[in-house]
Amino acid sequence: MKKEVIKSLAENFDSYSNKTENNIEFWFARDLQHLLGYTEWRNFTKVLTKAKISCEAAGHSITDHFVDINKMVKIGSGTGREIDDLMLTRFACYLIAQNGDPQKEPIAFAQNYFAIQTRKFELVEKRIKEWERLQARQKLTLSEKELSELIYERTGNEKDFGLIRSQGDKALFGFSTSQMKKRLGVKSNKPLADFLPTITIKAKDFATEITIFNVKDKHIEKGNRIAWEHIRNNKSVRKLLIERGIVPEDLPAEEDIKKLERRVKSEDKKIQKNPDRLGNQNK
């Protein structure tokens, strides 16, 4: 997600934030509906229902975080009508975002925006970058699993996938998998992809997806032909990266994806244990 988009969304979400007399931050559900890109209230209420179930499952009172209200809206000619709405805590908004489609930019942003307890833009941006790296790594895992199954189906040898993937790495980086691990300071028993930056993870995934497509579409059966297909696709992706000024083998290693995943999950658990409450504030 581009920095300009994150900044614009942050300013937009900030502008709809409200405070109670007890200084508890909240958003109106009708506002959040539009911020998340839902055009129909009836569709948004389905997400609200799921979020309420998640709230209760996490051990919290729904009424602490989803407060039903009625408010008047103007409908023209100086008249108005009463509509249903809700006051939502940051935790409630977080649960709503978690039950939305993360492929949509406003929802992907909201999942991270409401997970951060501070309002600092830099932390929101950092969290989103970490989330995007996790998503990219998960996607590569799925692609490689599909390719592995496809290779075994065609060759009957489960060891072929590791060899073909390594040949793909050599084509992408100009170095073998083990050589890249040494360059990046990665232990030999750790997956190389767990330490790659997002752009390189996506590059590997793109090459893998092309290989899967062509193996199926061209009915490639032999292991050596699959290997050649994968090598060629990685070389093509490498050529594209270098043309855009990105040399994949020169990019520095990033935090172990397993540690990053544990940290993000830990942050999410803290949010669920200690959310602010709108209802029953005198407890």
pLDDT for 70: 85
pLDDT at site 282: 44
**Which residues, given as ranges, of the chain have pLDDT below 70?**
72-73, 75-80, 117-122, 279-283
Residue 222's closest CA among 61, 202, 230? Answer: 230
Tens of pLDDT, residue by residue over 131-154, are 999 999 999 999 999 999 999 998
Residues 48 and 138: their CA atoms lie apart, in Å, by: 27
For residue 107, give the nearest of 50, 52, 34 by alpha carbon. Answer: 34
Q: Provide the whole-model pTM.
A: 0.67
Under 8 Å between Cβ of 233 and 210: yes
Give tens-digit pLDDT for 77-112.
666 677 889 999 989 999 999 998 888 899 999 998
Amino acid 118: pLDDT: 53
Q: Number of C-alpha atoms within 13 angstroms, CB side, residue 100?
A: 27
Angle of CA points 261, 262, 267, to nearest 5°: 100
